[in-house]
Amino acid sequence: MSIRIYYDNTKYRFKGWRKTVNLIEKVIRSENMVSGDLSFIITSDEVLRKINIEFLNHNYYTDVIAFNYNDENIVKGEIYISKDTVKRNSHNYKVSLNNEMLRVMIHGILHLTGYNDKTEREREFMRRKEDQCLADFKG
């Protein structure tokens, strides 16, 4: 099991990685699953847009795309995050870049544990889960 973070052509570096790994593992355990190999790739808007087009047939920018490689209850996957979109959202929501990055990481993990955000109800539920995880992180 390993949880890694990679940076693709960005000077940004996430702060608090060890504590974040503990939170990610806690989120996964709370869903009665165990963590396997997970990779977070911090990249740009253009890279995420290309991934969105190629794999999801969506021609727009997004903050996160998660690829699920789970093996039964072992959470495995790649989570691509656009630092550009996360930065814009951090300004819009008036939170720190690191805080918004953590929310997006949690969002990706929630997708890998089986949550969707296609409907308004699903989005609201995921937002509440993200808020709870962020509160746990700060606590």
pTM above 0.85, yes or no: yes
Q: Where are the beta strands (DSSP E) in 8-99?
A: 34-43, 64-68, 74-82
pLDDT at 37 (0 to 100): 98
pLDDT at 112 (0 to 100): 98
pLDDT at 139 (0 to 100): 60
pLDDT at 1 (0 to 100): 76
Half-sphere exposure of 2 (CA within 13 A, CB side): 4
- For the chain (139 residues), the mean pLDDT of every run of 10, in chain order, is 93 92 95 97 97 96 97 97 98 96 98 96 96 85
Do the bridges between strand 64-68 and strand 3-7 make them parallel or antiparallel, or are there none, so unpaired? Answer: unpaired
Domains of the chain, earliest start first = 3-138 (3.40.390.30)
The CA-based angle 35-120-54, given to 5 degrees, is 60
